[in-house]
Copies of this chain bind each other. A is one copy, B any other.
Amino acid sequence: MKEIGIIGGTGYTGVELLKILKNHPEIAKISIAANSTANKGLYEVLPELVSIVDDIKIQTVEELLENNYDVIFLALPHAEAHNLVPMLLNRDTLIIDLGGDFRLSYCDDYKKWYGFEHLHQNLLDCKTYGLAEFVISYNFKLIANPGCYPTSILLAVIPIIKLMNNNIESINTVSYSGLSGAGKSLRPDLLLSEMYGNVKAYNILKHRHEIEIYQQMNKYGYNKQFSFIPHLLPVMRGIYSTTIITLKNKVNKQDIINFYKEIYKDEIFVRVRNNVPELKWVVNTNFCDIGIEVRDNVIVINSAIDNLLKGASGQAIQNMNKYFGFNQTLGLL
């Protein structure tokens, strides 16, 4: 039975972590820290959790760190986790960071894409990038949980890169995300009155997740054109990604589908469909649904996830389960 600490636990991903861990058979105790709401009861901040999670007092980060944990989940704004992690690792705790501070490969990437000075190249080198279906071994105590967009896109493209990297000429992805992806930030453009019935692209060709995706593609050998265009979708949760892959040569649709089914045959959380996936099939679940269409040398892949679960807290638990050798579905079905 494991003891858990959550730092930054009252945002959208924190709530999902709490709900999952509460029903997880291997979890003994959960502690939460959030400096902005410290010393309040959890119920005051998250009234929907009454009778679901026993009342827990929210602690300051300092208070929480007076005790030891088997796992600490970090759900912090960018650049905050980055300085906390070295100290935590000294305690021999498993750290699962749901933010972006350890997802990229090089310190320089952080200056360019995130705008802060990253001082821990050694940690960037010695972390597990936790795209759960493709982690080969959990050697490190630091897991960088993938971004929500990258999860939806990498699960869709890694198989085809593995199958025929040399045949691929370009990969272009258009993604739509529900607004919970932006958290509870008080930005005027996230008001219901501003987004009701609305859509807009944003950070076109310069979203931080683009470099994260591309670096992972590189690891599997792909290094040609990749463009990523994220959009705000006027719903609460879910990501729907449409990836267009242009090949040098024609392929057969059924061959491709069969290959994807083979790759994921032991992975319960990736469902390769014979038809077009719908976002609602995955909302409130840890599934990634994938649909594939082919015409001549063009492959179109639609992939859908819940951004707060498979795209954040669900995958974090999946990583924890795999790290400890539990069944990866514990708490997630």
* A48 on the B face (CB < 8 A): yes
Asked if B186 and A186 sit within 8 Å, CB to CB, the answer is yes
In the docked arrangement, what's the CA distance between A247 and B187, Å? Answer: 36
* A174 on the B face (CB < 8 A): yes
Query: Given B196, B225, B242, B275, which contacts A192 in the complex, CB threshold below 8 Å?
Result: B196
* A327 on the B face (CB < 8 A): no
* A278 on the B face (CB < 8 A): yes
Q: Which residue of B lies closest to A204 (CB)?
A: B293
Known: A48-B280, A191-B184, A192-B190. A197 touches B271 (CB 8 A): no
In the docked arrangement, what's the CA distance between A52 and B190, Å? Answer: 25
- Residues 299 to 332 of chain A near chain B (Cβ within 8 Å): 300, 302, 304
In the docked arrangement, what's the CA distance between A284 and B291, Å? Answer: 27
Residues of B within 8 A of A187 (CB): 186
Q: Mark A48-64, 1 if CB is under 8 A from B, else 0.
A: 10111000000000000
Q: Which residue of B lies closest to A210 (CB)?
A: B295
Residues of B within 8 A of A196 (CB): 179, 192, 197, 235-236
* A81 on the B face (CB < 8 A): no
Binding site for B on A (CB under 8 A): 12, 23, 47-48, 50-52, 170, 172, 174, 176, 178-180, 182, 184, 186-188, 190-202, 204-205, 225, 227, 229, 231, 233-238, 240, 242, 244, 246, 268-269, 271, 273, 275-285, 287, 291, 293, 295, 298, 300, 302, 304, 333
Residues of B within 8 A of A174 (CB): 174, 242, 244
Residues of B within 8 A of A278 (CB): 47-48, 198-200
Asked if A236 and B170 sit within 8 Å, CB to CB, the answer is no
Asked if B205 and A300 sit within 8 Å, CB to CB, the answer is yes
Query: Given B47, B193, B199, which contacts A180 in the complex, CB threshold below 8 Å?
Result: B193
Residues of B within 8 A of A293 (CB): 204-205
Residues of B within 8 A of A170 (CB): 170, 246
Asked if A276 and B192 sit within 8 Å, CB to CB, the answer is no
In the docked arrangement, what's the CA distance between A279 and B48, Å? Answer: 10
7 contacts between A and B (CB under 8 A): A12-B193, A51-B269, A170-B170, A186-B188, A198-B280, A204-B293, A205-B293
